[in-house]
Amino acid sequence: MILDLHTHSIKSDDGRAKVENYCQWIKARNIGIDGFVLTEHRQFDLESDYSALARESGLCILKGAEVETEYGHVLIFGVTRALMDTFDFSRIDLPLAQVLDACEKNKAVAVPCHPGRKRVGMFAHIEEYGIPEGVRIVEIFNGGSRGDEDTIAQTLAAENHYLGIGGSDSHIVSHVGKCATRFPSPVASEGELVEALLAGEFEALDLKQA
């Protein structure tokens, strides 16, 4: 099963894509993914229920979040109300150690995204703060990366023995599915996504090159 693990809708402050339009685009253009995860900026969208749209489109539509730490931006999968009570998702200065600890205790997974990017990527901050403890997975293919950002991510991920995921980081409909992650078994819920990530059996895909 192939999922785009990093997308944004109009729920994000800079997102311009409606979720139903993502579904229409994926089907119309035969984009090679089975679904996507909505990782809205500095929030978890408790309100929206995409189950009917998922059934209608035949796509898996899951929700996560993207938060901001001193090490840059971090995707969170498996968000629950209990996890949301542990820190303020809207902050732009969250301690990464706190996010990682809270996710571990609440059976969620935290993944630094576009880590090779200046300012908002984890590897831009390791000279100042050092290699953070507790990171297991980073995003090594990002659909919005420029220049050598993905190469930096892949190189430093390999050096630090991190597993890698892929996501489009789409903010507009036409960017969805540019990068994704392949799982060996079906994923139908946020809980199953967490289990799959914790199992470590997945492969990051750069579909731009396919």
Structure tokens at 129: 């703060």
Q: What is the DSSP string of 8-52?
A: --TTSTT----HHHHHHHHHHTT-S-SEEEEEEETS---S---HH
**Which mean pLDDT values do the consecutive 10-residue runs of the chain (210 residues) have?**
98 97 97 98 97 98 98 98 98 98 98 98 97 97 97 98 98 98 98 98 90
Q: Coil, strand, or helix at residue 202?
A: coil
What is the biggest distance separating any 2 CA atoms in the chain, rounded to whole angstroms?
48
pTM above 0.95, yes or no: yes
What is the residue range of 118's domain? 2-209
What is the predicted pLDDT for the residue at 210? 64
What is the predicted pLDDT for the residue at 168? 98
Q: How many domains does the structure of the chain reveal? A: 1
> What is the CATH number for 87?
3.20.20.140
